[in-house]
Amino acid sequence: MTHRKIKKILVTGAVGQIGSELTLELRRRYGAENVVACGRKTKPTKELRDSGPFEWVDVTEVEKMRDACRRHEIDAIINMAAILSATGEKNPQLAWHVNVTGLINTLELARESLAKGAFDFIAKPFKLGEIRKTIAKAISAVDGETAAAPAERG
């Protein structure tokens, strides 16, 4: 099966700890204009805000996600949006809404995109090794070469 190359990436949860680092690295590798960072509530750092496009997009609002994908001609979504355990334990309804509804919305957009020839998607929860392998696979598709998964940091 031949996949088309990824041209534009949308990163949800881009203001979070992992999402912000991932977004900056993707921008460094593929050009700032090709990686759109998305956040729901938390203000992005100056570095994240100034390094490329940023959208206020809530993963629980599928039409706003779809609009951002169309506006930026997105062909890959990396969903890092999540309410983590400390906040989730205090507000389980919010955690469910963001984590489950957000995932369902992301998967629906992925399903629509896969039908049009998109590359892949990463579902949560995931193991770090799995995300590294999938990102390496996506990088290979962009670069047109075989990429090894990044090494574990110790």
Q: Given this model, what pLDDT does residue 120 score?
A: 57
Q: What is the largest CA-CA distance in the chain?
A: 45
Q: For residues 154 and 137, what is the distance between their CA atoms, to the nearest angstrom? A: 23
In a domain, 154, yes or no: no
CATH of the domain at 136: 3.40.50.720
Sheet of 9-12, strands arranged across:
54-56, 35-39, 9-12, 76-79
Full DSSP string of 83-110 = --HHHHHH-HHHHHIIIIIHHHHHHHHH
Q: Given this model, what pLDDT does residue 122 score?
A: 55
Q: Given this model, what pLDDT does residue 49 score?
A: 94
Of 137, 31, 154, nearest to 78 by C-alpha is 137
> pLDDT means per 10 residues in the chain (154 residues)?
68 93 93 95 94 96 94 89 91 93 90 69 60 71 55 44
Domain carrying residue 95: 9-143
Number of domains the chain contains? 1
Cα angle 93-96-98, degrees, rounded to a multiple of 5:
105
Q: What tokens were used for 118? A: 């998109």
In a domain, 152, yes or no: no
